[in-house]
Structure 1
Amino acid sequence: MSDEDTARHNAKMAKKKVAREKIMATKTEEKGLVIVHTGKGKGKSSAAFGMIFRCIGHGLPSAVVQFIKGGMATAERDLIERHFADLCEFHTMGEGFTWETQDKARDIELARAAWEKAKELIRDETIRMVLLDEINIALRYDYLDTDEVVAFLKTEKPAMTHVVLTGRNASDAVIEIADLATEMELLKHPFRSGVKAQAGVEF
C-alpha cells in the first residue's frame, strides 16, 4: 500500500469515526428489551444462550425456562447448573418435541406450567434477563394464548428486564412488540447430507 493509499484510508476511517461517535452520542436510553430469535435457520437458542452467558459474565442474575426441550442433557444446562447456578436459574419444563410426546393434553399442561414459572421469574426485578427457549413453538401450536403472553410482556415486564423468546414461526403479534427481532435464515444444514446432531454443535 502506497503512502497515498494509506493517507486516503486513514482520512476515510477518521471521517467514519466522527460520524459514528456522533450517532452513538444520541443513544442514551436504557431499557429492558423484548428480543425475538426466530426463523428456520440454526442458532436461535445458541444466540440466546450467548446473551445469558454475557449476563453471567457481568454478574447479572438471569434465568432460563425451556418450553419444549425435555430431559436430554445439553451442555448449556450442564455448564450453568454446575458452575453458575447462583447467577442463573434453569428450568427445563417440557418433555420433548410434539412428535416425541404424542400427548397434546400433556404438552399443553406442561407449557402452561412453564409459562407460570416464566411469569414468576420475569416479575422478579432482581433478574436481569429471562430466556423463554422455544416458547414460539408452544405459541404456534396453541399450547399458550398469544394474546395473553403479549399482554403480559407489555404490561407486567419490569422496565429493566430483558426477555428473550426463541423458536421458529414467531407470530406477527410477538414480533410487533419486540425491540429486537432476528430471523435466522437456513442456507445449508448438515442433516440434509446425512450428518447427525453432534456434541458442541447441536447440544
Structure 2
Amino acid sequence: MTDRQSRHRNAMRNLKSHVDEKVAAATEQRGLLLVFTGNGKGKTTAAWGTVTRTLGYGYRAGVVQFIKGMWECGERERLADDANLSVHIMATGFTWETQNRESDTQACQAVWADAERLLSDPEVYLVVLDEITYMLKFGYLDIATVREALANRPAEQTVIVTGRNAHRELLDMADTVTEMQEVRHAFNAGLQARRGIDY
C-alpha cells in the first residue's frame, strides 16, 4: 500500500468514526422546523424539493405561498395532480406590485387561515410556509400568532419556512437554519428569470 493510500485510509477511518458517533447520538424522532433564509437564490426551490421527497413516500404535504403564488411555478404545475398535495395561494401576487397594505393584509390573513388548518392537522406530514418572512416583516402577520401555531403543531409534522430576513424568533425556534448566500445573481447582470429554471 502506498503512503498516500495509507493516509487516505486513516483519514476515512477517522471520518467514519466521527460520523458513526453522530448517528448513534441522534436518538430523537419528531417533526422539525426548518428555516431557509438569506439573500441567495434557491430557498423556495429547496422547499419544493422537500415537498417532492415527502410526496414520493406517500405522505401528505401542504404548501402556502405568500408572495409568489400568482407567478408560474414549475414544481407546483408538475405536482398539482398529486392527491397528497394541497396548495394555498395568497391571491395578490408580489406586494411591491399591489402597493396596498389593507388588501395585502386581508389576503395574507385569508391564506394564513389555510396555514393554521394545515398546522393543526396530524395527517399533514410537511407544511411549507413559503415567503412568510415578508408577512412578518411588513406586519401583515404577528410573530406571536405564527410562533403559537408552530409550537402547537402535531409532533410528527415538519414545517419549512422560507424567505429573506427570517424573524429572530423563528431562527431561535428552528431545528435547522440554512442561509442561502448570494455570490452572484444573473438578474443583477440584466438576465431575465428563465422559465423552467428560475420558476
TM-score range, shorter chain: over 0.9
Shift of 1:14: 1.9
Deviations, residues 57-92 of structure 1 (Å, cap 9, x unaligned): 11111110111224222101111113x2x1211111
Does the CA-based 8 Å contact 2:119-2:149 persist in structure 1?
Answer: no
Instruction: Name stretches of at least 5 consecutive residues in structure 1 with no aligned partner.
Output: none
Deviations, residues 44-69 of structure 1 (Å, cap 9, x unaligned): 11111111111011111111011122
Matched to 2:36, the amino acid is: H
1:90 to 73, 87, 91: 87
Matched to 2:45, the amino acid is: S
Shift of 1:96: 1.0
Shift of 1:34: 1.1
Tell me whether 1:102 sits opposite 2:138 in the alignment: no
1:174 to 170, 173, 178: 170
**Aligned in 2, Cα 1:59/1:70: closer, same or farther, shift over 3 Å?**
closer
Shift of 1:157: 0.8
3-state DSSP class of the match of 2:77?
Answer: helix
Deviations, residues 147-181 of structure 1 (Å, cap 9, x unaligned): 11112212x21111001111111111111111111
Write the distance in 1 (CA, Å) between the matches of 2:144 and 2:114.
18
Write the distance in 1 (CA, Å) between the matches of 2:179 and 2:10.
36
Normalising by the residue count of structure 1, what TM-score does the alignment of the two structures yield? Answer: 0.93
1:50-69 equivalences under 5 Å are 50-69=49-68
Deviations, residues 116-138 of structure 1 (Å, cap 9, x unaligned): 10010111101100001111011
Does the CA-based 8 Å contact 2:33-2:175 persist in structure 1?
Answer: yes
Does the CA-based 8 Å contact 1:64-1:91 persist in structure 2?
Answer: yes
Write the distance in 2 (CA, Å) between the matches of 1:180 and 1:170.
13
1:52-201 equivalences under 5 Å are 52-82=51-81, 84=82, 86-154=83-151, 156-201=152-197
In structure 2, the partner of 1:40 is 39
Write the distance in 1 (CA, Å) between the matches of 2:37 and 2:91.
19
Q: Which runs of 4+ in 1 moved over 6 A?
A: none
Deviations, residues 12-64 of structure 1 (Å, cap 9, x unaligned): 21232123212211111111111111111111111111111110111111110
Normalising by the residue count of structure 2, what TM-score does the alignment of the two structures yield? Answer: 0.95
3-state DSSP class of the match of 1:90?
Answer: strand
3-state DSSP class of the match of 2:178?
Answer: strand
Instruction: Name stretches of at least 5 consecutive residues in structure 2 with no aligned partner.
Output: none
3-state DSSP class of the match of 1:128?
Answer: strand
Write the distance in 1 (CA, Å) between the matches of 2:44 and 2:93.
15
Percent of residue pairs identical: 38
